[in-house]
Chain A
Amino acid sequence: MLDKKNTVFLIVQDNEDARPIIEAVEQDNPDANIQYQPGMVRMEGAGQLVVNRETVEEQIGREWDVQELHLVLVSLAGNVDEDEDKFELSWH
C-alpha cells in the first residue's frame, strides 16, 4: 500500500507505443502500482517514479528519445526532471 501523501503518478495511453514505457517503469520501479483503466494506464510511485531511456531502448531495440514520451502522455503529478537519459517525477 502506498502512502497516499506523496504519491506521484504518470498516466499514459493504453497502446502499442506506450507498452515499452510501461514495461520499463515496471522493471525500474519494482514498487510502482500499475493500474489498467479504460483507454489508459496509471502508474503510481511512492514519492518518486522514473522512466530510463536505456531500459526502454532494451525493450524496443532501437534508439529512443526521452521526449517521445510526449506522444503517449496523458497526465502526471510530481516535479518533473528530464534529461537525455531519464524522465523522473518526484515530490520533495
Chain B
Amino acid sequence: MPAKKLNLRKRYELLTRGMGWETTHQDMDDVFPYDSFEGIKITDWDKWEDPFRLTMDAYWKFQAEKEKKLYAVIDSFAQNNGQTNLSDASYLSAIKLFITGVTPLEYGAHRGFAHLGRHFRGDGARIACQMQAIDELRHAQTQIHTISHYNKHFNGLHDPFHQFDRVWYLSVPKSFVEDAMTAGPFEFITSISFAFEYVLTNMLFVPFMSGAAYNGDMATVTFGFSAQSDESRHMTLGLEIIKFMLEQHEDNLPIVQRWMDKHFWRAYRLLALVSAMQDYMLTNSPLSWKEAWDVYFVENGGALFEDLSRYGLKMPKYHELATAEAEHLSHQVWSVFCLLGNATGFHTFLPTEEKMDWLSEKYPNTFDKYYRPRFEHWAKQKEEGTFQYLAALPQLCQVCQIPMIFTEVETDPMQLSFRVSEYKGDKYNTCSDGCKDIFDHEPEKYAQAWLPVHQIFQGNSGGATIPEVLEWYKFAPEDGGDYIGSQDHARWQEWKGADDKVKQA
C-alpha cells in the first residue's frame, strides 16, 4: 500500500519549520545583521505563513509548466511572423519603454529578494523570498527572450540594461527600485511587495497585457500573464508581510505607515509612465488610465485598506491627490515625451483624430479643455514644418526624477506644481508634496540622487550636445523622433502596403 500523501499544511510545515537553528558559534545578530536596524520588532517568526503553502517540488513543477507553455507561444509567434499581426507598428513604442524601463526593474527585484532570501531570520519568510527572487529573474529573462523577436525587425530594443543606467526617463524606474534596494529588508519588501505589487502592479500588468491582447501582440500577452501568475503570489506575500509586521508589535505601525506613504507615492509616480503607455502609446486601449485607476486603486485599494484598518493602518498619504491627478496624468506625460521626442529611444507621435475623440470621451472634464488644443497646435506646426523639440533640458524632481511637468490639479491645472527644500545650504526641487515629504524625511539620501540632467551639465554623460549624449545612451539616430517617416514605419508599410491601412498616418 502506498504511503498516504501528506496534506498541504503538513508538507509546507516540513519545508519551513525547523530548517533554521539558533546559532552558537556566531551571534544570531551577526548571522542576520540587517533585520533589526529598521526598528521592526519581531517576537515570533513562526507566526509567518505563506497562504499558498507552496513547497519546492510544487514550485518547480508549476514553474516548469508555465515556461513550457510560454516558450511554445514564443516559438510559434516567431515562426508565423507574429509581428505582422500587430494593430500598428507605432504600438511598439510601448514595448520599447517596457523592455528598457520595466525589465531591468524585474532584475532589480530579483537582486533585492535574493538578498532578503538570505537575510530574514525566519525560515518561512526566507523561502518565500527565495522563490520570488527566482521568479523575478525568470520575468527579466522571459521578457528579454520574447522581445528579442521584435529586436530583429524594429529599432530601439538593442540594449535595455545599458540604457537603464543612463537615460533621463529611465532613471525614474531605476531610482525607484534602487531606493528600495538601499533600504533595509523590511522597507524593501513593503515597497516592492506591498506598495508596488499589491497596491499598484495591477495597473501595470493587467490593463497593459489586456491592451497587448487588444493590439495583436500575443507574445507580450503570454509573457505578461505568465509573470502575473507569479505576481499573484508576490502580492499575497506583500499583504502577509504587512499583516505579520502589524501583528507582531504595535510599535511597528508608525514605521509601516510611513513606508507605505513613501512607497505608494514613489510607485505611483513611476506609474505615470504607464499612464502614457496605456492612453497614448497603445494604438487601441481597452481601458483608460483613469478607468484602471478607479477600478484597481479606488475600489480594490479601498477594500484592501478597509480590511487593514483593523490594524490601524490608514490609506496612503496623498492618495486623494493621485485620484485627482488621474484625469491629467497621461496627457501631461505624453506631452513631455512628444516635446523631447528627439531624445527618446522610442518613436513619439501625436494622437490621431480617432484617438483624440476616444480621449475626449474618457476624459470629459479635462481633455478638450486643457490638452486637445495643445496636440492640435503641435499637429498644425508639424504640418507647417515649424514644430521644434525642446532645446533646453528639463528640470527634474529630486525624488521621482520625472521632469517638473505635474500641475496643481486641485486648484489650477495649468499651474506647475513646484516645491523647494533646503539642505546644507543647497536648494532641492520636488514635483509635489508627496516627493517633498520623502526628501525632507531623508535628505541625506536624496541629496545624492544621480539626476540625469545634472549629470549632463556636469559633463558626465558623453558630451554637451544632444547627439553626444544620445550616443552615450547607445541610442542610434533612427531610434527616436517621429514615428511617421521612421524606419519602423517604412518597414510596416512594406509589410502592410498602402498608407491608408496604417493607423498612424
A residues sitting closer than 8 Å to B (CB atoms) are 4-9, 11, 13, 37-40, 67-68, 70-77, 79-84, 91-92
The answer to whether B206 touches A81 (Cβ under 8 A) is: no
Known A75-B202, A79-B307: A38·B214 in contact at CB below 8 Å: yes
Selected contact of B213 from candidates A4, A38, A80, CB within 8 Å: A38
Which one, B23-31, B145-153, B228-236, is touching chain A?
A: B228-236
Q: Is B51's CB within 8 Å of the partner chain A?
A: yes
Whole-angstrom CA separation of A89 from B330 in the bound complex: 33
Q: Is B386's CB within 8 Å of the partner chain A?
A: no
The answer to whether A73 touches B214 (Cβ under 8 A) is: no
A-B contact pairs, 10 of them (CB 8 A): A4-B303, A38-B211, A39-B209, A39-B214, A40-B206, A67-B8, A75-B228, A82-B51, A83-B8, A91-B306
Whole-angstrom CA separation of A8 from B7 in the bound complex: 27
The answer to whether B210 touches A37 (Cβ under 8 A) is: yes
| Pairs of residues from A and B, 3 with the lowest C-beta to C-beta distance, nearest first | A39-B213, A80-B51, A38-B213
Q: Is B9's CB within 8 Å of the partner chain A?
A: yes
The answer to whether B300 touches A7 (Cβ under 8 A) is: yes
The answer to whether A74 touches B303 (Cβ under 8 A) is: no
List 18 additional A-B contacts (Cβ < 8 Å) besides A67-B8, A74-B228, A82-B52.
A7-B303, A37-B287, A39-B212, A39-B214, A40-B209, A70-B66, A70-B232, A71-B62, A71-B66, A73-B228, A75-B202, A75-B206, A77-B300, A79-B239, A80-B52, A83-B7, A83-B8, A91-B307
Q: Is B53's CB within 8 Å of the partner chain A?
A: yes
Main secondary structure of the interface of B (DSSP, over half): helix
Q: Is B205's CB within 8 Å of the partner chain A?
A: yes
The answer to whether A74 touches B225 (Cβ under 8 A) is: yes
CB distance from B92 to the nearest CB of A (A): 18
The answer to whether B65 touches A74 (Cβ under 8 A) is: no
The answer to whether A84 touches B206 (Cβ under 8 A) is: no
Whole-angstrom CA separation of A75 from B295 in the bound complex: 13
The answer to whether B225 touches A13 (Cβ under 8 A) is: yes
Most buried by A among B211, B236, B287: B236
The answer to whether A70 touches B300 (Cβ under 8 A) is: no
Chain A contacts of B300 at CB under 8 A? 7, 9, 77
Q: Is B452's CB within 8 Å of the partner chain A?
A: no
Whole-angstrom CA separation of A78 from B211 in the bound complex: 25
The answer to whether B51 touches A79 (Cβ under 8 A) is: yes
Known A5-B306, A74-B225, A79-B307: A67·B235 in contact at CB below 8 Å: no
Q: Is B299's CB within 8 Å of the partner chain A?
A: yes
Chain B contacts of A68 at CB under 8 A? 62
What per-residue 1/0 map shows which CB atoms of B194-216 lie under 8 Å from chain A? 00000000100110011111100
Selected contact of A39 from candidates B7, B58, B69, B210, CB within 8 Å: B210
Whole-angstrom CA separation of A91 from B309 in the bound complex: 11
Within 8 A of A (CB), among B50-72: 51-54, 58, 62, 65-66, 69
Q: Is B304's CB within 8 Å of the partner chain A?
A: yes
Whole-angstrom CA separation of A92 from B302 in the bound complex: 13
Q: Is B221's CB within 8 Å of the partner chain A?
A: yes
CB distance from A23 to the nearest CB of B (A): 20
In chain A, what residue has the closest Cβ to B221?
A: A39
Whole-angstrom CA separation of A18 from B51 in the bound complex: 21
Within 8 A of A (CB), among B290-309: 299-300, 302-304, 306-307
Known A70-B233, A73-B228: A8·B303 in contact at CB below 8 Å: yes
The answer to whether A77 touches B229 (Cβ under 8 A) is: no
Q: Is B286's CB within 8 Å of the partner chain A?
A: yes
Selected contact of A75 from candidates B52, B221, B231, B239, CB within 8 Å: B231
Chain B contacts of A6 at CB under 8 A? 303, 306
In chain A, what residue has the closest Cβ to B5?
A: A84
What per-residue 1/0 map shows which CB atoms of B266-283 lie under 8 Å from chain A? 000000000000000000
